[in-house]
Amino acid sequence: MDNTEITADDLVELVRVYNPKTNEKQIRAAYEFGRAMHEGQYRHSGEPYFSHPVAVAAILTEQQLDDGTIITALLHDTVEDTRASYKDIETLFGRDVAELVDGVTKLTNLQLNSTETKQAENFRKLFMAMSKDLRVILVKLADRLHNMRTIKAMRAEKQAQKARETMDIFAPLAGRMGMQWMREELEDLSFRVLNPEGRASIIRRFITLQRETGDVIQRITGDMRLELDQAGVEAQVFGRAKKPYSIWRKMEEKSQSFSRLSDIYGFRVITQSDEDCYRALGAIHGRWRAVPGRFKDYISQPKSNGYRSIHTTVSGRDGKRVEVQIRTQQMHDVAETGVAAHWSYRDGVRSNNPFAVDPAKWIAQLTEQFDAEEDHEDFLEAVKLEMYADQVFCFTPKGDVVKLPRGATPIDFAYAIHTRIGNACVGAKIDGMRVPLWTRIKNGQSIEIIRAQGQTPQVTWLDIATTGKAKTAIRRSLREEDRARFVKLGQELARSAFAQVGKRATDKVLRTAAKNMRLNGIEDLLAQIGSSEITGRQVVQSVYADLVPNKGDHIDAKSAVVGLEPGQSFKRAPCCNPLPGERIVGITFRGEGVTVHAIDCEKLSSYEEQPERWIDLRWHDGNHPAVYDAVLDLTIGNGAGVLGRICTLIGDASANISDLEFIERKPDFYRVLMSVALRDVAHLHSLMLTLEAESDVAAISRFRKIDGQKPTT
């Protein structure tokens, strides 16, 4: 049916086929409202513009989606392109539909093909919109599908831009959501625009092949039905040739010509039960030879989006390979609609398919690691890994299946089994042969991890690992290693501080100090001393207050900020390290308290779209202890005793050096990053003036670590 001919009656009938209880009145009202709003608007093709929203709604009826999604499709461009407002939609069709229309509008306004940093932020917004209601992305995908089907009316450069965006973002997203049919069509429509000659050549070769070999699909389908009947398995068998882009990609990946490419046909077996799936597999493997490494059991190991099926590739006597998918009807329903199955109807009732995942749980799982990444590049890397990666299946020495993204290494494998195994990894064997840790794992390989006592993760592993789980565990271990260093330093500082008042830093004394300072034991106390969060003098004072001269009441560092909720904890943002006396603002993190930023911190721009997370804060007035780190970028002369004199000046200014890192070493100068514990911003300015006056200091500035970058050399 031509989209321009789809009337309100036609659309209602399309919905009523799978949902007889549909709210016909609301759908008709949305149809009439949308048509009235778009009156006088036309597409590039010259068709009335309203033919587009109607076509999008029709695409969504093919997925048997609920009334709210269908109505949203009819209205999805009204707020963006007509005089209709959010309030109008809410009044006429309810808040649920208004929120969905608003979500689609915001997605439409995202420029998803811009620079890397901007793209990371746009992905973040895209996933935020998805997490609110996944139906927003279902409408957007249907919108993009219809636009790609009618893309010929656009200018050539606009076609190329939309096709590239579809290939890079929307097609992988459809695949990640389990909507494989939509992924394939979006890819093929994009392929038609981006490489028309390549696509035409594939189609010509298909026609030639069919002329030479006859109808291969019909012949193999008949053979499979015969084998299944003889095995007593009741099943339907369907066959098809793969899409041109899928074949082109295989040719590129395997560097093979079309004539040498074997698995260009796909077959699907739909059975009555799980048991029949495995019986069908046995019957097919009994007739045709299974191709090693091409078997995947997604029934026992389902994908995170609910997809279940058995995949195998078999070859006949002529050496031609075919791919076979075996699944039940319920599994097939989810395979066709993916996560969208949650909102679909079957036989007039909301789908109760046991394999359809809860979209809230799915999106929470998908975004869990993204929320942990504050760095834009890390976030974008994680998104791309999750969305673009095909999977490989490998085995433990005991035969257990481990699922990893394509391109994964033995380090990813080790962490997939257990963090402890990953941390202790020193090497790996693949199929019994020792391999480097950066080796890429292939389907069907058996991996054995070699461990050693005392081994800890190396910084270089971050470049080797590909999974979010492995990278997170490596970063955590590296932080803990720093903590061990701080504990060791804290032991020395504590011993020295207690010795100055004639006391010993015994375990009992340190335990008492930790309790008095409300810290979690001796190790936490020593780590905070070593990292200059607290001073040895404060620890001594917490136990022997009468032995430490009172230099005036200091404001407790744990309650130095005004404006927090009772019991709410805070930490200074490592990017800007705000000091008492500077204007500050807080950003809330669920379960982690509040992170305090300086008001001019560049990182705050990432939270502009989330005003509900901002808290107005200020520092307490009064005397603050010298426990707040600031980093100084110093260029100093390379002469005898220069560094010592600078350290003496810092000590004389009642500041404490907590860390020192050399950035450049030249014959005539050094460049260093020096972390200094200070009282407040006035203390910082005073210290910088003192150092600037020193003749051996060529340059000095405050260094702020935005997005983890080092200073340029």
Catalytic (active-site) positions: 80-81
Task: Label residue 569 exposed, middle or buried (CB < 10 Å: 0-12, 13-18, 19+).
Answer: exposed
Per DSSP (E only), the strands in 362-511 are 391-395, 401-405, 425-430, 433-435, 447-451
Secondary structure (DSSP) of 184-230: HHHHHHHHHHH-HHHHHHHHHHHHHHHHHH--HHHHHHHHHHHHHHH
- Give the SS3 label for residue 397: coil
In 3D space, the residue among 102, 7, 109 whose CA is nearest the CA of residue 57 turns out to be 7
Write down the H helix ranges in 552-662. 642-652
Q: What is the DSSP letter of 343?
A: G
Q: Which residue has the tokens 């269908």?
A: 70
- Give the SS3 label for residue 589: strand
Residues 346 and 354: their CA atoms lie apart, in Å, by 13
- Whether residue 629 contacts residue 684, with contact meaning beta carbons closer than 8 Å, is answered with no
Q: Which residue has the tokens 């930790």?
A: 514
Q: Which helix (H) or strand (E) holds 61?
A: helix 51-62
Instruction: Tell me the β-bridge partners of 394.
Output: 402
Q: Which residue has the tokens 């980093």?
A: 631
Half-sphere exposure in the Cβ direction for 275 (13 Å, CA): 3
State the Cα angle at 169 between 166 and 170, rounded to 5°.
Answer: 60
Residues 258 and 212: their CA atoms lie apart, in Å, by 14
- Whether residue 162 contacts residue 169, with contact meaning beta carbons closer than 8 Å, is answered with no
- Whether residue 456 contacts residue 482, with contact meaning beta carbons closer than 8 Å, is answered with no
